[in-house]
Structure 1
Amino acid sequence: MELLLSIDSSEWDGGSGSWMPVEERDPAVGRGGASTGVAVGRWGKLNVFACPTDPGHPHLTSSQ
C-alpha cells in the first residue's frame, strides 16, 4: 500500500516551527496553525492508502 492522500487538521504543530509560515513565527500571531478549516476526528490526521499494483483493491485508511 502507498500513501495516496493525507488530510491534517492543522498545517503545523506550533512546537517544531520547521516549515511554519514567516507571518506566523511570532507566537502572538500564530498559535497552532489550524488554518486548514478541516477537523479530522479530534483534530487529528487522516491518511488514505491505495494499492499501486491493483486499483481494484480497497483503499485503507488510518486516523491519528
Structure 2
Amino acid sequence: MDCPTCATPMHLLLTVDSSEWDGGSGSWTPVEDRGLPPHLYATPTGVIVGRSGELNIFACPTDPAHPHRWAIQ
C-alpha cells in the first residue's frame, strides 16, 4: 500500500484482529486456554472486524503527518 501523498510504500502500524487464536494450528493459543473451544474463548474483547476479519492500519515512513490508510481482510 502506497502513501496517497508521496507514493512511498507504507509500513504496517497496527493490526486489530477479531480473535486471538483460531483453533487451527494452536501455535498462538495461550497455555491456559489450550483444549478450550476457540469460538467461546478466543474473543475476550468481543471486537469483531467486518465478518470476523482483521483491520490493518498503515503509516507513511517518510512523514507521520501524511494520512494513514487502512485495509480490512
Band the TM-score falls in, shorter-chain normalisation? 0.7 to 0.9
- 29-38 or 7-16, which moves further after superposition? 29-38
Q: Structure 2 regions of 5+ residues with no counterpart?
A: 1-9
Structure showing greater radius of gyration is: 2
Bigger helix share: 2
How many residues in Structure 1 have an aligned counterpart in Structure 2? 62
The match for 1:31 among 20, 30, 38 is: 38
**What amino acid maps onto 2:70 in structure 1?**
T
Deviating runs (4+, > 6 A) in structure 1? none
Q: Structure 1 regions of 5+ residues with no counterpart?
A: none
Alpha-carbon distance in 2 for matches of 1:23, 1:56: 41
TM-score (norm 2): 0.74
Deviation at 1:18, TM superposition (A): 0.7
TM-score (norm 1): 0.83
